[in-house]
Amino acid sequence: MDKITLGKLAAMVDEQVVSAPGVARQPRALVGNTPVLWVGEPFAPAGSGFWAKLEGCNPGGMKDRPALHMVCCAEQRGDLVPGARIIESTSGTLGLGLALAGLVYRHPVTVVTDPGLEPIVARMLTAYGARVDLVAAPHPIGGWQQARRDRVAELLAAEPDSWCPDQYSNPDNVDGYESLALELIEQLGVIDVLVCAVGTGGHSAGVARVLRRFNPALRLIGVDTVASTIFGQAAGPRLMRGLGSSIYPRNVDYAAFAEVHWIAPAEAVWACRTLAAGYHASGGWSVGAVALVAGWAARVSGPDRTVAAVFPDGPHRYFDTVYNDAYCAEHGLLTAPPAEPDTLAYPTQRQVRSWTRCETVLDPSEFTPEPAR
Ligand SMILES: Cc1ncc(COP(=O)(O)O)c(C=O)c1O
């Protein structure tokens, strides 16, 4: 038995969730125990590489884990009463997880999103029983994310007992990744470097915290998109979804990061397509961005270090963006990335437009004016 601890399995059998490894008695047993894949050249030099945790092997992706955890905790605390509606803002991944959590815990779900949501995800959310509510225009300062959050507030006010998980600041989002971290320990042993995309900050904070119990010297590398405000750059139009933000999410654990890398869309596209062609495992914007940085981390860390990277989802929803030649050509995304990232001494030194790293990681709400939340 290599993917699940005996204790965990015994607990799940007791709860009648599973009857044996690989046999799910209930849909929630499909979440977790995702594989890791070794990724080497051309991301890292011969003899070195990193382990990719393939969270796309969950039914909806990585956020199935925090979705189930947030809903379960809210029920236990009495914040979410039986049958009450769950309403949340999401770029899609958490929506898929909440649709599953709604089924498991018997709650209707409304997912507030924006026109950037891929049609395939909108249709799957509907098929899984969620109501999809689309905002029409971005907020003048806080962008689409703020517009979605304003709409969530409106819907919550209109429906008594409805509940919002608030993935941006709910600590249960962070705690929901304990299982992912424990699986990594079981699969890989002690981990030296962890590379994570950052959107709400949930999985980077949650996985790193548990891994540090086993290795206090763990180096956490955050991966953001250009034109995202999370690590102190100015907001701008963003092509990449999933990672990045136009607000300052409270779940980002700034003190936990050794450094941050900003990645441009063309660089992520190159990495996604290279992964697909060379490893038959890929994903979307965040997967490509994380793979590029994890390959760099493997190179600079040396072959005796264990580097792990979280791949939050799989490739399918990106068939008409990352994997569409016409879309990529139209947006100028078919170029190879530089061999090395550029470097900033501090996050606001200048606005970055391509792969850049910075070892000074600070909470921007403490050194720039607070944008509207
Ligand atoms: C595909 C994808 N990648 C990465 C992230 C960022 O993860 P987190 O919100 O845990 O920081 C998200 C968040 O929505 C996502 O959907």
SS3 labels along 104-162:
HHCCCEEEEECCCCCHHHHHHHHHCCCEEEECCCCECCCHHHHHHHHHHHHHHHHCCCC
HEC string for 291-319: HHHHHHHHHHHCCCCCEEEEECCCCHHHC
All residue ranges of the chain with pLDDT < 70 are: 1-19, 368-373
Return the best residue to mutate from 58, 69, 93, 178 for the ligand 1 pocket (most ligand atoms within 8 A of CB): 93
Centroid of ligand 1 to alpha carbon of 10 (angstroms): 31
Task: Look up residue 336 and give its DSSP letter.
Answer: P
pTM value surpassing 0.75: yes
Centroid of ligand 1 to alpha carbon of 304 (angstroms): 29
Q: Does residue 89 line the site of ligand 1, with CB under 6 A?
A: no
Centroid of ligand 1 to alpha carbon of 20 (angstroms): 31
Domains and CATH numbers, the chain: 31-57+173-361 (3.40.50.1100), 64-166 (3.40.50.1100)
Q: Does residue 87 line the site of ligand 1, with CB under 6 A?
A: no
Contacts of residue 325, Cβ cutoff 8 Å, sequence gap at least 6: 334
User: Where do the DSSP E strands lie in the chain?
Assistant: 18-20, 23-24, 36-39, 50-54, 86-89, 109-113, 131-134, 193-197, 219-225, 259-263, 307-311, 342-344, 356-358
pLDDT of residue 2: 42
Asked if 251 contacts 268 with a C-beta cutoff of 8 angstroms, the reply is: no
Task: Look up residue 256 and give its DSSP letter.
Answer: G
pLDDT of residue 371: 45
Centroid of ligand 1 to alpha carbon of 65 (angstroms): 12
* Tokens encoding 134: 């689309």
Nearest alpha carbon to residue 231 among 273, 198, 183: 198
Nearest alpha carbon to residue 25 among 34, 13, 10: 13
Q: Does residue 286 line the site of ligand 1, with CB under 6 A?
A: yes
Centroid of ligand 1 to alpha carbon of 200 (angstroms): 7
Q: What is the position in ligand 1's atom list of the atom closest to the CA of 251? A: 11
Centroid of ligand 1 to alpha carbon of 234 (angstroms): 20
User: Where do the DSSP E strands lie in 231-361?
Assistant: 259-263, 307-311, 342-344, 356-358
Helix (H, G, I), strand (E, B) or coil at 95: helix
Instruction: Name the residue with the closest Cα to ligand 1, atom 1.
Output: 242
Q: Does residue 145 line the site of ligand 1, with CB under 6 A?
A: no
Asked if 101 contacts 107 with a C-beta cutoff of 8 angstroms, the reply is: yes
Return the best residue to mutate from 54, 55, 57, 63 for the ligand 1 pocket (most ligand atoms within 8 A of CB): 63
Maximum pairwise Cα distance, the chain: 59
Q: What is the CA radius of gyration of the chain?
A: 20
Q: Does residue 198 line the site of ligand 1, with CB under 6 A?
A: yes
User: Across the chain, what does the average pLDDT equal?
Assistant: 94
Centroid of ligand 1 to alpha carbon of 325 (angstroms): 24
Q: Does residue 58 line the site of ligand 1, with CB under 6 A?
A: no
Instruction: Name the residue with the closest Cα to ligand 1, atom 13.
Output: 242
pLDDT of residue 21: 77
Cα 280 to chain center, whole Å? 20
pLDDT of residue 142: 78
Q: Does residue 249 line the site of ligand 1, with CB under 6 A?
A: no
Q: Does residue 312 line the site of ligand 1, with CB under 6 A?
A: yes
Centroid of ligand 1 to alpha carbon of 5 (angstroms): 27
pLDDT of residue 15: 65
C-alpha triplet 19, 20, 26: angle, nearest 5°: 45
Residue carrying structure tokens 């750059």: 233
pLDDT of residue 348: 95
Task: Look up residue 364 and give its DSSP letter.
Answer: G
Q: Does residue 201 line the site of ligand 1, with CB under 6 A?
A: yes
User: Where do the DSSP E strands lie in 313-355?
Assistant: 342-344
Strand partners, 195: 221, 309
* pLDDT tens per residue, range 254-275: 999 999 999 999 999 999 999 9
Instruction: Name the residue with the closest Cα to ligand 1, atom 14.
Output: 242
Centroid of ligand 1 to alpha carbon of 371 (angstroms): 21
Centroid of ligand 1 to alpha carbon of 202 (angstroms): 8
